[in-house]
Amino acid sequence: MTVPDQSASPFRVVFVCTGNICRSPMAEVVFRHLAERAGLGHAVVSSSSGTGDWHVGERADQRTLAALERRGYDGSAHRARQFTPDAFEENDLIIALDRTHERILRHWAQHDNHRDRISLLTSFDPSALGPDVADPYYGDDRAFDDALGMIESASRALFRQLEPAIRPPRHGGLV
């Protein structure tokens, strides 16, 4: 994983799932919330995209929006996008929501430095129940709540790992 350069532009992370209407929008919103709550909203850009183009331009699935709202998040501004090769250069970290996405992204990466930016979200969370955040699309509200719970836990773990490198150094002592 690349460590952010504190003198550079904001650290950019993109979360990737299949259609960009369920899991990755949840992760984008949760991670942005964590950065803002830590006073680092200016230092982190959180986005999301999908490996497929089926939903480009659409809002997040209504069940995604409802699950986010039940936990106090607002996903209403989300519009689905497809992951493009440019995203490898535009982002410091590319987070896959399951192993299928990770394999697709590694296949699409043209260079080792692009592959080095790809991680599986659950890899940051030692308490994760498995390597994949299950796709809730064909499930009920509980499946969306369960997916969001896994995303929250793993996103907190990811943020804890990144925060020291993102947070500007404190200047102390005598002037």
Q: Residue 124 domain-assigned? A: yes
Task: State which residues form the domain around 22.
Answer: 11-166
Q: Residue 172 domain-assigned? A: no
At 8-57, the pLDDT tens digits run 689 999 999 999 999 999 999 999 999 999 999 999 999 999 999 999 99
Q: What is the CATH number of the domain that holds 108?
A: 3.40.50.2300
Our measurement of the distance from residue 103's CA atom to the centroid of its chain's CA atoms, rounded to an integer in Å, reads 17
Which pair of tokens denotes residue 115? 């592959």
Catalytic-labelled residue, pool 71, 135, 145, 156: 135
Confidence of residue 168 (pLDDT cuts 50, 70, 90): confident
Q: Is 22 tagged catalytic? A: no
- Comparing 10 with 175, the larger pLDDT belongs to 10
Confidence of residue 165 (pLDDT cuts 50, 70, 90): confident
Q: Is the pLDDT of residue 65 over 70?
A: yes
Q: Residue 141 domain-assigned? A: yes
At 100-150, the pLDDT tens digits run 999 999 999 999 999 999 999 999 999 998 999 999 999 999 999 999 999
Q: Residue 171 domain-assigned? A: no
Q: How many CB atoms sit inside 10 A of residue 44's CB?
A: 22
Residue 44's SS3 state is strand
Indicate the number of domains in the chain. Answer: 1
Catalytic-labelled residue, pool 17, 63, 81, 117: 17
Q: Residue 2 domain-assigned? A: no
Catalytic-labelled residue, pool 23, 32, 63, 117: 23
- Which pLDDT value is given to residue 174? 43
- Between the alpha carbon of residue 164 and those of residues 38, 40, 153, 161, the distances in Å are 11, 11, 18, 7
Q: Residue 4 domain-assigned? A: no
* Sign of the C-alpha dihedral computed for residues 39, 41, 44 and 50 taken in this order: positive
Q: Is 17 tagged catalytic? A: yes
- Which pLDDT value is given to residue 4? 47
Section 84-110 average pLDDT: 97
Q: Is 167 tagged catalytic? A: no
Which pair of tokens denotes residue 140? 């009920």
CA distance 77 to 65: 10
Section 79-90 average pLDDT: 97
Q: Residue 60 domain-assigned? A: yes
Q: Residue 1 domain-assigned? A: no
